[in-house]
Amino acid sequence: MSSVKDARDELLLLILSSPSGAGKTTLTQRLLQEQKGLAFSVSHTTRAARPNEVDGQDYHFVDQERFFEIVRDDDFAEWAEVHGNLYGTSVAELERAKRAGASVLLFDVDYQGARQIKAKLPQAVGVFILPPSMQELRRRLESRGTETPESLARRFAKARDEIGQYPFFDYLIVNDELQSALADLKGVLAAERCRRSRRAPTAEALLRAATKLDEKA
């Protein structure tokens, strides 16, 4: 029985990406709260923490000098500059998730990070979160109250380019209503957990067990 269970324990890498303001961070947090066996890949960033963010939980907040030390040590699975700030995913996050016994590791990254992760880890699954409209995207960005007029204009202008990257991703979810988008995201997770390539070891283990029973009969 243990061999069947072990065959189901391969770490699933789930990448969530979106233009700023489309809601990927909120969806990530809700998924972590409501699903068991998930771990969150905490990224490094040089941007300042927002009032509700906690160092080591939302991001590892570091200065540029420390960030480039990690780059030189080749300890990032991916890194990129986004809106004038640096973001990176440490390879240590994968090992941390495995040690914690997680079955799924969530990445909250932009499309540049998603491309780098999938280049190194092609088994990773990419999900892109779309806003219901560009007008709603602008409203969400404005409602944050954390953006200057200049940064707001920069983020909104970049959103079109980011949405243009959608063909690279495996799934697209429209975040019009949070609960509906969360249900779609849970559906993606359930489908990926049942994908044939991930369940094949389980099926093969069952076939081997059946053969052994036949031999004993």
CATH of the domain at 131: 3.40.50.300
Residue among 211, 175, 202, 171 at smallest CA distance from 14? 171
Residue 71 lies in a domain: no
The residue range of the domain holding 211 is 2-40+103-216
Mean pLDDT (whole number) for 175-195? 95
Is pLDDT of 2 > 80?
no
41: Cα separation from own chain's centroid: 7
Residue 1's pLDDT is 34
Q: What is the rounded CA–CA span in Å between residue 186 and residue 188?
A: 5
Mean pLDDT (whole number) for 158-166? 91
Residue 178 lies in a domain: yes
How far are the Cα atoms of 26, 46, 89, 108 from residue 81, in angstroms, in the given order?
A: 22, 10, 12, 15
pTM over 0.75: yes
Residue 52 lies in a domain: no
Q: Which residue has the higher pLDDT, 30 or 215?
A: 30
Is pLDDT of 147 > 80?
no
Residue 207's pLDDT is 95
Residue 5's pLDDT is 39
Residue 208 lies in a domain: yes
For residue range 58-72, what is the model confidence (pLDDT) as tens digits?
899 999 999 999 999
Strands 104-108 and 59-61: unpaired
Residue 51 lies in a domain: no
Residue among 114, 110, 87 at smallest CA distance from 159? 110
Residue 53 lies in a domain: no
Mean pLDDT computed over every residue of the chain: 88
pLDDT band at 155 (very low <50, low <70, confident <90, very high): confident
Q: Which residue has the higher pLDDT, 94 or 180?
A: 180
Mean pLDDT (whole number) for 81-100? 88
Record the tokens describing residue 193, joined without a space.
């957990």
Residue 80's pLDDT is 87
Residue 67 lies in a domain: no
Residue 73 lies in a domain: no
Residue 9's pLDDT is 52
For residue range 100-142, what is the model confidence (pLDDT) as tens digits?
999 999 998 888 889 989 988 889 999 999 999 988 888 888 8
Query: What is the DSSP code (8-state) at residue 167?
Result: G
Split into its structural domains, the chain has a count of 1
Instruction: Count the residues in the chain.
Output: 217
Mean pLDDT (whole number) for 149-154? 82
Is pLDDT of 17 > 70?
yes
Which of 4-18, 28-42, 118-132 comes out lowest in average pLDDT? 4-18
Residue 42's pLDDT is 92
Is pLDDT of 15 > 60?
yes
pLDDT band at 8 (very low <50, low <70, confident <90, very high): very low
